[in-house]
Structure 1
């Protein structure tokens, strides 16, 4: 957290110094005029810092007063800081403690909510027709058995999948990536390692994975408009087993509901 705050503040100061203290500002548009390679390099550096700063501030829900952030940089750079080194140290230490406390409170709240939501979802899913539970706590519903061989934990599988949270929000999908996913079963969450072995090639299965068989209390950030995975999240997957890597005769099976075969990916999506 200490390095995060330090780097975020440095990034903030530098980007606004580069963008806001340049005398080459176009008065009519309010934008900088980029005329030289040096200006372009500085602008690109500032843009990179801004992206880093925004991502980290948003992730940690940190609010800053940009006017005073820029002012603190400018005045200190010119040797006219209104705060002594001791005041700055004490202020940033208090700031770090507050941010850590607020972050921990948000984490615990999210974990409690996800735990309750997951337990409720799993209880309701367990009542559905054909749902079974393994000794580990994995819930599954076989949609189609599949006619090919069942993979083992030592196999690499070729799949299509959709992953959602218990509220129905989709956080990942191989269909959205436009290609299948190929990966060793030992390299994914244990709920997948266990669950995919329950069907044969050509089959489809729905997995409801409790957090202890998924990512536990880890948080995994989302991408773009896709939500992230919060702590203690129960995850829901629908997976089509299209083939087992190396079994060439089994890789021609079509994804359910799709007319054309999609080229398998060389990298795991999970």
Structure 2
């Protein structure tokens, strides 16, 4: 009987000891609902005007191709300008930063057009009869003339011309106006300055002008988008000289 009691007593001690050394199971924290952020309220005329200025600036910047800004830094810039704090950039540095990011955004915005132009020019220069100059200007002789040739960029010339985009849309034509134009070779786009000097009077050439020799990253008016490769048919009627 004593033996049985002793065995039960030892077992009870062992169970009690295990229960005391066993690590308690950690309880999962009870999730608490985050306090809702109150919507911004426009309580005064200044509040409304401030918000209006913000949306106006944001909408304007977005049209340039920018997709995001560092809003905290943008607000700091606004505050520093208004409060007279020391500016982190001088006017020249600020303009350089703006120009760089705007150029990058604009290039991204017109990436498909840039790639289309690049592909076209790569394929076009392989065509029989098409020649490419060191600048990237491509041209094709439609009619070879035997008259005088411009010799300097200060020469004045008389030409007929027609200009189209890669999609075939015509944006200008002296033929349609029924009157040729006179200009000095340093008063036109680089593609014309270089190209017309290759021609003899009486010639008619077809020029394929990359955007770097045309209207560049900005384009021209509503008819010539930024980064446009342009196609011109130019007929050199007369070299007037200086």
Which category describes the TM-score, using the shorter chain as reference length? 0.5 to 0.7
Rounded to whole Å, the distance in 2 between the matches of 1:243 and 1:172 is: 20
Distance 1:119 1:181, change over 3 A: same
1:95 and 2:90 matched: no
- 2:156 aligned residue: 156
1:129 and 2:128 matched: yes
Rounded to whole Å, the distance in 2 between the matches of 1:199 and 1:229 is: 25
- 2:214 aligned residue: 214
TM-score, normalization: structure 1?
0.55
- 2:238 aligned residue: 243
Q: What is the total number of aligned residue pairs between the two structures?
A: 161
- 1:200 aligned residue: 200
TM-score, normalization: structure 2?
0.61
Distance 1:187 1:124, change over 3 A: same
Computing the radius of gyration from Cα coordinates, the structure with the larger value is: 2
Asked if structure 2 preserves the Cα contact closer than 8 Å seen for 1:110 and 1:231, the reply is no
Unaligned runs of 5+ in 1: 1-81, 223-227, 248-270
- 2:30 aligned residue: none
- 2:141 aligned residue: 142
The Cα RMSD (Å) is 2.1
SS of aligned partner of 1:195: helix
Once the two structures are TM-superposed, the CA of residue 244 in structure 1 deviates from its matched residue by 1.5
- 1:84 aligned residue: 45
- 1:173 aligned residue: 173
Once the two structures are TM-superposed, the CA of residue 194 in structure 1 deviates from its matched residue by 0.8
Give per-residue Cα distances to partners, 1:216-266, cap 9 Å, x unaligned: 1013113xxxxx21121111100000112259xxxxxxxxxxxxxxxxxxx
Once the two structures are TM-superposed, the CA of residue 147 in structure 1 deviates from its matched residue by 1.4
Asked if structure 1 preserves the Cα contact closer than 8 Å seen for 2:150 and 2:241, the reply is no
Q: Structure 1 residue runs of 4+, over 3 Å off? A: 105-110
